[in-house]
A and B are shown apart, each in its own frame.
Chain A
């Protein structure tokens, strides 16, 4: 699937879930499957400043493929990071640099997050 297709698929799932508690549960369940952040990136250099809790994110490149590593001490944010990983992981630099993720503009995705959490997610998207 293309990045746009993955994003649309995620949104379709969230819209199908419908109510806030179901969507919240969805993010929490996804948090379990977040790709592990290597310890060398668990430093202040990779911390997301807009997040009130400790959240780290890094986009690494390896042979023209991007690898997105992230972690957060807030399960809800970690769930969002897992979904972003699904969109961005193993894509080419060309794909990621030309792609604009629209999830933060979608009510189904963003409605469970507080304004501060949204700011943190916006900062993370700037990495791409």
Chain B
């Protein structure tokens, strides 16, 4: 039987850390673009249950793949080989995780970033840049 409580607590702990990141970003004044990018990287890694320091410079796809690998303790492509979910709502688990993450960013940071812009962001730096611009526009408005 799954050790549900451990799984749940692990996710909740990471969720709490991601909320701290959101609070930092939204309550800080005068953050630079680079600082927001670093915060977004931490936020994404926490949501993906990864360690920020060990996953610098990776693409969103790679981060999502690593998140699934870690969850299943399997290496992709073995995990992907066992998961032929492309016909299941036309999205594998990695793609779905990215989609859910991008929705979470819009909601948690309360930013209105066009879905296609977020969707085309290749890495956490690009997402961070979009969040920075959106937050700057809000403050300037």
Residues on A lying within 8 angstroms of B by beta carbon are 9-10, 13, 16-22, 24-26, 28-33, 51-54, 73-77, 82-83, 85-86, 89, 114, 116-117
CB < 8 Å neighbour of B88 from A19, A22, A117:
A117
B96 touches A24 (CB 8 A): yes
B84 touches A54 (CB 8 A): yes
A19 touches B15 (CB 8 A): yes
Sample of 20 more A-B contacts, CB < 8 Å, known A53-B88, A77-B88:
A17-B12, A21-B103, A25-B67, A25-B71, A25-B97, A26-B7, A26-B8, A26-B11, A28-B93, A29-B7, A30-B2, A31-B71, A33-B1, A52-B88, A73-B82, A73-B83, A74-B83, A75-B68, A76-B96, A117-B89
* 5 smallest beta-carbon distances between A and B, as pairs: A33-B2, A21-B100, A114-B89, A74-B85, A52-B87
Q: Supply 13 A–B pairs (Cβ within 8 Å), ascending by A.
A: A20-B100, A22-B12, A26-B7, A29-B7, A30-B4, A30-B7, A52-B89, A53-B85, A53-B87, A73-B84, A82-B2, A114-B89, A117-B88
* Distance from A40 Cβ to chain B, minimum over Cβ atoms (Å): 19
User: What range describes how many residues of B lie at the interface?
Assistant: 20 to 34
* A31-B82 Cα distance, complex, nearest whole Å: 12
Residues on B lying within 8 angstroms of A by beta carbon are 1-5, 7-8, 10-12, 15, 47, 49, 67-68, 71-73, 79, 82-85, 87-89, 93, 96-97, 100-101, 103-104, 107
What are the residues of chain B within 8 A of A89 when measuring CB–CB? 1
